[in-house]
Amino acid sequence: MQITPKRILLFPLIFLVVLSMARVYDVNFWKDYFSLKNSIKANNIIKVKQAIESGTNVNQPFTDGSTPLTYAAENGCLEVVELLLTNGADVNLKANNSCTALMCAATQEHLKVVELLLTNGADVNLKTNDGATALMCAATKGSLEVVESLLAKGADVNQQRLDGTTALMCAAENGSLEIAELLLAKGANANQQRNDGITPLICAATQGSLDVVKVLLAKGANANQQKSDGVTPLMCVANNGHLEAVKLLLANDTNIDEQNNYGWTALIYTAHLGHLEIAKLLLANGTDVNLKRNDGWTALTVAKNKGHSEVAELLLTYKANY
């Protein structure tokens, strides 16, 4: 098409028409949605009713990707959630972040909202794009009552995220003893591994959650199960200086001289960070003082290199070599 001066003059006119239509769209369409979102945030049930009565689609996402229901659930607006459900809100509709209203409520520990959503048909086992469930959200937050409600409605206790994480791992990582006990009582696998080999025991051991470590061991957790890089629970607690957890694992037949893929042992981890009391405990329990990393370094070499003189002197009393 040939561009003539006459046609060029039409461009501004076309632009003005499009702009005018867009402004009408904004006024007539977005006005109600901005009003609805602000009313939900303020927990103003009267204005939410007015917005619905004016014809607002209760399943239309807001500009941030949340839906009216997920937004209300996240903010704990119980009456608003009930009103939205009564007026046709899809209880399982996901926001742009792939979270459902149930997940939002569980994450924020809004128990009554969780119960209302479950009563209205919320799918307790729906997943986000990365595979997370409402149960994992609640376990991560340490909300026992929410976990109980979800389990009562059939939440899959062993469901995994795409990376292999389970609700039990979430609880173990956060030191949530009661939730870990409940999940185990409901059949959670104490030896389930994440894609990188991490287990619930390794999660608890890394954080030094002694009570959770005890419960997991009592339920059959393998004290010697390794991550994909060969790291064991004992290495985790030794590395992080958790003396009591080291004692507990040693009392549960852990392999004191296990080496990871790079040759590190619990003693070498201890020497690396200068944990003197743990070094004493490992040595008293017969650890091999002269095992070497893949690069040839022993615990003594590591302790000397890191300037941990007390650990180095202790190792020498056990006839350690460089």
**CATH number of 65's domain:** 1.25.40.20
| 122 assigned to some structural domain | yes
How many independent structural domains does the chain possess?
Answer: 1
Q: What percent of the chain has pLDDT over 90?
A: 87
pLDDT at residue 30 tops 60? no
Cβ-contact 167, 139 below 8 angstroms: yes
pTM (2 d.p.)? 0.86
Instruction: Indicate if the pLDDT at residue 114 is higher than 80.
Output: yes
Average pLDDT, the chain: 92
In a domain, residue 106? The reply is yes
Of 33, 98, 108, 121, nearest to 73 by C-alpha is 108
Task: Kindly tell me if the per-residue pLDDT of 29 is higher than 50.
Answer: no
Amino acid 7: pLDDT: 58
Q: What is the DSSP string of 176-187?
A: -HHHHHHHHHTT
In the chain, % helix, strand, coil (3-state, to 5) comes to: 55, 0, 45
Give tens-digit pLDDT for 274-313: 999 999 999 999 999 999 999 999 999 999 999 999 999 9
Query: Phi/psi at 243 (nearest 5 deg)?
Result: -60, -50
Residue 95 domain flag: yes
Q: Is residue 71 part of a domain?
A: yes
Q: Please give the residue range of the domain that contains residue 125.
A: 33-130
4 occurs within a structural domain: no
Q: Per-residue pLDDT for 81 more than 80? A: yes
Arithmetic mean of pLDDT, 262-280: 98
